[in-house]
Amino acid sequence: MAANDCIFCKIVKKEIPAKIAEEGADWIAFHDIHPKAPLHLLVVPHRHLERLSDAKAEDADFVGRLFLEAARIGRAKSPAGFRLMVNDGSAAGQRVFHIHIHILGQTDME
């Protein structure tokens, strides 16, 4: 999918609305419209990259910072614990092909 057709790119550019939880210089965190837990946020980089498996060695800092921000947000919003999840590819449940991290928390998960 081209970046100009990507729903997450449109959210980043504020072309379509989202319930934004936080935003940094190069990422945005917003509430999932189909939550799977009481807290279900998506952390999305401003930069379009379709899948985590598309990342190269030169993307290590970019990907690492994204995970650190997701962990910081998870800790702040669900201090008792949270889950970070990335779906990579349609067979893994990825529906939007723009790398993103799910933060799931405020519930007991098995």
* Tokens linked to 79: 């201090």
CATH architecture classification, 3-105: 2-Layer Sandwich (3.30)
Burial, 62: exposed, middle or buried (Cβ in 10 Å; 0-12, 13-18, 19+)? middle
pTM, to two decimals: 0.93
Among the options 40, 98, 100, 102, which is catalytic? Answer: 100
* Predicted local confidence at residue 14, as pLDDT: 96
Question: Could you report the per-residue pLDDT of 48-84, keeping only the tens digit for each?
Answer: 999 999 999 999 999 999 999 999 999 999 999 999 9
CB atoms within 10 A of CB 47: 15
Over residues 75-101, mean pLDDT: 97
Checking if the pLDDT of 108 tops 80, the result is no
The full set of domain ranges for the chain reads: 3-105
Q: For the segment 17-33, what is each residue's pLDDT rounded down to a tens digit? A: 999 999 999 999 999 99
User: What's the CA gap between 34 and 70, in Å, rounded?
Assistant: 19
Quick one: residue 30, left, alpha or beta (phi over 0 = left, psi -120 to 50 = alpha)? beta
For residue 48, indicate whether it is catalytic: no
